[in-house]
Amino acid sequence: MAKPVAPLQKNESTEVLVTICQYPPVHINLRLTMLRNHRQNITGKLLVIRDVTTLYQTQLDLQQMNIIQQQTQLNLKQTNEALESRLRENEALQHQLKEQAIRDGLTGLFNRRYFEETLLAEFAKARRSQWPLAIILLDVDYFKQINDTYGHQAGDRVLQVFAEVIGHHVRISDIVCRYGGEEFIIALPGMTLEEAARRAQRLRLELSETVIRYRDQMITATVSGGVGALPEHSGSQDGLISAVDKALYEAKRNGRDRIHIMQVGADVATSV
């Protein structure tokens, strides 16, 4: 049985689907062509009947393949996007874990471990290039009294605010760390001992003028500091840190709220 079609006009074609009982459907292409004489008068009609079932099925197969290909490409794109998203998440997580490993959780500054590892590289670079390398070690004065008077959370807030102040007064190349407890340490590549002493003095004054608001309390604190540098102090990293630590101890012993540097070639610290 063939589906009825509209009458063909001149030079037209159409397709019909023919079904005969149990036989598979057949796609038939009908093409009508007008026959004309030399005067262009119609002298007859030519009807061409062609079985296009194979062609039709091939077109269907191609369409289906295109759909499958498009879906595959879409799935592949979605998979790639998901993988890229996962990779970005993993990279962000790795960065976060790395930051957690080298950052102090309270102040956000680098921690002591990072400082010691980085100072090793900076020390070697300074020795190789014969550039100066200065160290400033600051310690919050009477920090235990702050904790006892206002509470440990207030003490934590003092450390956080002081970390922010110090961070705003250093160069990009400087390395600022919480060294432990209430101590902050700063490595200053390329800075001489005299320059570092002046920098430490400015930091001391800035911190002493900083007011920390905690709940209904207004807290102020001072710092003592020790300064050392290459090439003046020692030929080793440990020796430089030792000189800075001794200078800090002398600043504490001589009344606090002051900056000391170790005298070159002597085990004596002097105030800046």
CA distance 160 to 181: 12
| Tokens coding 72 | 């595959």
Q: Is 209 a catalytic residue?
A: no
Q: Are 157 and 150 in contact (CB under 8 A)?
A: no
Catalytic residue among 91, 164, 182, 194: 182
Tally of CB atoms within 10 A around 191: 23
- Closest-CA residue to 229 (of 263, 252, 255, 256): 263
| Tokens coding 67 | 């759909």
Beta bridge partners of 78: none
Is the sign of the CA dihedral 98, 185, 235, 197 positive or negative? positive
- Closest-CA residue to 122 (of 70, 174, 56, 194): 174
Beta bridge partners of 176: 186
Q: Which residues are catalytic?
A: 182
